[in-house]
Amino acid sequence: MGRDGGGVRPASSSSIEITFQYQGVRCRERVQLKPTAANLKKAEQHKSAIEYAISNGTFDYAATFPRSKRAAQFARASSNQNIGVYLDEWLERKTKTFKSSTTALYRSIIRSILKPMFGDLSLGELNKKVIKDQLSDYQVSNSRLTTVQTCFRSALNDAVEDEIIESNPLSGWAYKNREEIKEEDDVDPFTREEQEALLRAARGETWAQLQFAFWTGLRPSELIALEWGDIDWIAGEIRIVRAKTRAAKVPESTKTASSRRTVKLLGPAREALLKQKELTFLAGKHVFLNTITGEPWRHAGYIYRVIWVPAMKKAGVRWRRPYQSRHTYASMMLSAGENPMWVAQQMGHKDWTMIAKVYGRWMPSADVGAGGRAEALFASNASVMTTSPLDPAL
């Protein structure tokens, strides 16, 4: 079988055959080495390494012999791999393609949630019931559950593509907790009076950033990444092409593809930019800078501490987080009767369903006389528009 019967032998003038037992099957594979004495010795060492990996459960047939026709037969043997180990390795591979913020989020989810829940199981032990049982004890909002499952689902999709498991047990469904009705504070825009109070309390660059936030609907991460080159003064538009998150060292692409958009430069926002131009146009490419350091904002959390908290305290306005400026913009546009599709586009949503779901209670107030036009048009022709069920003509 080999030089000494050890399962290694010359197979041709340019290859050596290795024979070993794997999962009860006798396997023969070739390595492309000339069968010299030295190479035969290397092949014996390679065979010993294979047998050691088989004995401790770490052998990957496809990785060791990627061109082998037999590799597919054993592909799913890797389903015995520990889930915790797999998730760590998966994230390491995906770091090259994920945004920094996504990588940081998924690393936190894997470390603090998925590994404690599933890390001691093998991929082959995972099924829908196991996932439901574990997630049912995780008492958080459904929004948080969705994020956790999105991470896990993505990892398991790759496991299917790599033929480690046959199917993704998270495919086509998502676990949800029974939630209490959410408080109205989830979307809590500033009223006109509160906006005026905040702007009166603000000065200089602080005033410009607040007014601009109220009248553009930009996410705080988009606002701090805005550059003067993104402003089209002639067309009256703002190009939103990047965002600066806490996890990213430099601005990255926007949250989603639909978030990459053009926002109409409304009058109050233009006024804020003209004021800001006096302060930072010659200071560099960034529109808004940290009002204390004069440097670009490191992340949106600093806006909260440097601008919003002092302004709310001075104005006596009830506390809200800076993201409520985005909700304020949406509520103002919808209450004024602007087309929901247009509002969705301005805010970077794929369609208007999110607008209707989140801001629906502002939409009826867009026209206090809603229904009046239909009443005026059809009321005088009621006999035509309505027919009694007892009408003999039926």
pLDDT single digits (tens) 87-121: 999 999 898 888 888 899 999 999 999 999 998 88
Q: Is the pLDDT assigned to residue 74 strictly greater than 80?
A: no
Could you tell me the residue ranges of all domains in the chain?
8-78, 83-161, 186-366
Strand partners, 172: none
Dump the DSSP string for 41-74: HHHHHHHHHHHHHHHTT---HHHHSTT-TTGGGG
Q: Are 196 and 268 in contact (CB under 8 A)?
A: no
The confidence score (pLDDT) of residue 90 equals 93
The confidence score (pLDDT) of residue 44 equals 93
Can you tell me the distance from the alpha carbon of 353 to that of 346, in angstroms, rounded to the nearest whole number? 14
> Which run of H or E residues covers position 155?
helix 142-161
Q: At what angle do helices 83-94 and 142-161 cross, to 10 degrees?
A: 90
The confidence score (pLDDT) of residue 283 equals 84
Percent of the chain with pLDDT over 70: 82
Q: Is the pLDDT assigned to residue 77 strictly greater than 80?
A: no
pLDDT band at 78 (very low <50, low <70, confident <90, very high): low
Can you tell me the distance from the alpha carbon of 153 to that of 135, in angstroms, rounded to the nearest whole number? 14
The confidence score (pLDDT) of residue 385 equals 40
The confidence score (pLDDT) of residue 251 equals 56
Q: Is the pLDDT assigned to residue 386 strictly greater than 70?
A: no
Can you tell me the distance from the alpha carbon of 192 to that of 158, in angstroms, rounded to the nearest whole number? 49
Tell me the per-residue pLDDT of 220-279, one tens digit each, with 9 for 90 and over: 989 999 999 999 999 999 999 988 876 555 556 566 676 789 999 999 999 999 999 999
More confident site: 57 or 17: 17
Q: Is the pLDDT assigned to residue 38 strictly greater than 50?
A: yes
pLDDT band at 391 (very low <50, low <70, confident <90, very high): very low
Mean per-residue pLDDT, 176-200: 76
What is the sign, positive or negative, of the torsion defined by CA atoms of 103, 105, 107, 110?
negative
The confidence score (pLDDT) of residue 47 equals 93
Mean per-residue pLDDT, 324-339: 89
Record: fold of 186-366? hpI Integrase; Chain A (1.10.443)
The confidence score (pLDDT) of residue 318 equals 93
Q: Is the pLDDT assigned to residue 393 strictly greater than 50?
A: no
The confidence score (pLDDT) of residue 351 equals 74
Q: Are 175 and 136 in contact (CB under 8 A)?
A: yes
Rg (CA), the chain: 31
pLDDT band at 167 (very low <50, low <70, confident <90, very high): confident
- Return the minimum-mean-pLDDT range out of 28-42, 138-152, 177-191: 177-191
- Return the minimum-mean-pLDDT range out of 37-51, 70-84, 181-195: 70-84
Can you tell me the distance from the alpha carbon of 97 to that of 252, in angstroms, rounded to the nearest whole number? 12
Q: Are 312 and 319 in contact (CB under 8 A)?
A: yes
Q: At what angle do helices 128-135 and 142-161 cross, to 10 degrees?
A: 150
The confidence score (pLDDT) of residue 248 equals 55
Which residues lie below 8 Å from residue 107, measured CB to CB, with a gap of 6+?
Answer: 91
- Return the minimum-mean-pLDDT range out of 48-62, 122-136, 145-159: 48-62
More confident site: 341 or 384: 341
More confident site: 13 or 2: 13
Q: Which of 267, 259, 266 is nearest to 347 (CA)?
A: 259
What is residue 257's DSSP assignment? G
- The whole-chain average pLDDT of the chain stands at 82
